Amino acid sequence: MDNSRKIAVKVLNEVFDKGEFSNKNLNIRLINSDLDSKDKALVTEIVYGTIKYRYTIDRIIDNFLKEGIKKLDTTILNILRISIYQMKYLDKIPDFAAVNEGVNLAKAMKSVGMSKLVNGVLRNYLRNKEERYCDDRDIVSNLCYDYSFPKWMVKTFITQYGEDTATKILEGLNKRPAVTVRVNSLKADFEEVFDLLEENEYSVSEGYICPEAIRIEKGRSIEKNPLFKDGLITVQDESAMLVAPSMDLEEGMTVLDLCSAPGGKTTHIAELLDNNGKVYAFDLQRSKLPLVEENAERLGATIVQCDKLNAEIFNEKLVDLGDRVLIDVPCSGLGIIRKKPEIKWNKSKNQLDALAQMQRRIMSNACKYVKQGGYLIYSTCTLNKDENEKNINWFLLNHSGFKVESLNFGKAENIIYNKDGSVTILPNDYMDGFFICKIKKL
């Protein structure tokens, strides 16, 4: 029989050492395991929790090793990480059980000698469980330890947003995300779907800000629900749901989505057009286009046409084609850490700088595809202002004949209406961090 904690360690080895995506690696291992649903839930909790709180956990472990964690065997380090996570952040697992499991795991996966090291570190931690392993005099050190983020990221948020908002961002990015679905207006109305979900024994509530959003609070996997299979709903975060409505869509329009996969915003556009118009869905990787096509077919979005496109390279055939052009550009993803916690550890400041340059190349091409009087919509799932407001400022300085038009999504404590008219959405219990800007071609 498979050991749940052993699977967790193997996933973490792949995520931290090889840059694997946690959700994909974990799903494959769980599908191929003989664990029951309770143990699968435990593995999921341990994996995501350990990734989320890695910084703090590593500071603790480092304190009890003479040579620190850098020279420690990867598997032993991850055994220590999951053990500390259980003892520090989980109430349902007794400390002695976490220690015993860790020791036995080290013995089974490595050696008796390594199991003794694990035993020593974990028992030392238990004797000093209330200690704080950070510099209490330094705000960055405190925030890094309390919310478990790398120092460069904390410094970036403080520099760009100030200490108070940065703290809200860190707190929001550590929230546990719920599943939110978008009601497909092509096939059903909100009340009908809401009632059907309850009949299917889901605990549901209305969305936080989007009128077509339903929050799934409790219930089995939504992808296995007949409402999903029949295309009445699709999974999408509420922040992403705000993009298509911001485009001021009208039936009969031609819309270009230059970075469309997996198709959430593309299909939303088709729904708001009521399948009356044209939606061209492009993506750099042809291998991703079948996913867009599958989603469009499931949802009945018949006006979607897919093709490969490198948005960084100018395409003369697209000039003045779009009434609306959407560029949901590749970004650092700092707004979706609550869903993909490994972003904390697989991104660097240098990568962010390179991304901003790529985004500018995409903007420079995309603006040429917009008809006069049409809109270019720029969106990201990051909170890095260099990829957001700074890019918009650069664009306006280097491209005449465009202006930002203000967006308004109503009042919500996590929505920042920027001076230039763009919108920043801070992460909270209900929404990912996001940025949206609507630019008119005069």
3-class secondary structure for the chain? CCCHHHHHHHHHHHHHHHCCCHHHHHHHHHHCCCCCHHHHHHHHHHHHHHHHCHHHHHHHHHHCCCCCCCCCCHHHHHHHHHHHHHHHHCCCCCHHHHHHHHHHHHHHHCCHHHHHHHHHHHHHHHHCCCCCCCCCCCHHHHHHHHHCCCHHHHHHHHHHHCHHHHHHHHHHHCCCCCEEEEECCCCCCHHHHHHHHHHCCCEEEECCCCCCEEEEEECCCHHHCHHHHCCCEEECCHHHHCCHHHHCCCCCCEEEECCCCCCHHHHHHHHHCCCCCEEEEEECCHHHHHHHHHHHHHHCCCCEEEEECCCCCCCHHHCCCEEEEEEECCCCCCCCCCCCCCHHHHCCHHHHHHHHHHHHHHHHHHHHHEEEEEEEEEEECCCCCCCCHHHHHHHHHHCCCEEEECCCCCCCCCEEECCCCCEEECCCCCCCCEEEEEEEEC
Mean per-residue pLDDT of the chain: 94
Determine whether the annotation assigns residue 219 to a binding site: no
Residue of higher predicted confidence among 37 and 308: 308
Determine whether the annotation assigns residue 311 to a binding site: no
pLDDT tens for each residue of 276-308 = 999 999 999 999 999 999 999 999 999 999 999
3-state secondary structure of 435: strand
Q: Is the pLDDT of residue 249 over 80?
A: yes
pLDDT level of residue 92 (50, 70, 90 thresholds): confident
pLDDT level of residue 2 (50, 70, 90 thresholds): low
3-state secondary structure of 110: coil
- Whether 270 and 304 have beta carbons less than 8 Å apart is answered as yes
Please give the average per-residue pLDDT across 184-207, as a whole number.
94
Please give the average per-residue pLDDT across 374-401, as a whole number.
97
pLDDT recorded at residue 23? 84
3-state secondary structure of 196: helix
| Angle (nearest 5°) at CA 58 between 53 and 64 | 140
pLDDT level of residue 415 (50, 70, 90 thresholds): very high
pLDDT recorded at residue 223? 81
Q: Is the pLDDT of residue 119 over 90?
A: yes
pLDDT level of residue 220 (50, 70, 90 thresholds): confident
pLDDT recorded at residue 1? 45
What the chain holds in terms of domains, given with CATH numbers, is 4-127 (1.10.940.10), 139-173 (no CATH), 179-235 (3.30.70.1170), 245-441 (3.40.50.150)
pLDDT tens for each residue of 332-348 = 999 999 999 999 999 88
Determine whether the annotation assigns residue 410 to a binding site: no
d(CA 342, CA 17): 11
CA-based nearest residue to 428, from 235, 243, 208: 208
Please give the average per-residue pLDDT across 209-228, as a whole number.
89
Determine whether the annotation assigns residue 94 to a binding site: no
pLDDT level of residue 185 (50, 70, 90 thresholds): very high
Which position among 306, 331, 367, 381 bears the catalytic label?
A: 381
Please give the average per-residue pLDDT across 188-193, as a whole number.
95
Determine whether the annotation assigns residue 187 to a binding site: no
Determine whether the annotation assigns residue 265 to a binding site: yes
Cis peptide upstream of residue 262 (ω within 30 degrees of 0): yes
Q: Is the pLDDT of residue 259 over 70?
A: yes
Please give the average per-residue pLDDT across 39-51, as a whole number.
93
pLDDT recorded at residue 296? 97
Determine whether the annotation assigns residue 328 to a binding site: yes
CB burial of residue 190 (10 Å; 0-12, 13-18, 19+): middle
Is residue 144 flagged as an active site residue? no
pLDDT above 70 covers a percentage of the chain that reads 100
Q: Which residues contact 195 (CB under 8 A, 6 or more apart)?
A: none
Least reliable range by pLDDT among 1-15, 248-262, 349-363, 424-438: 1-15
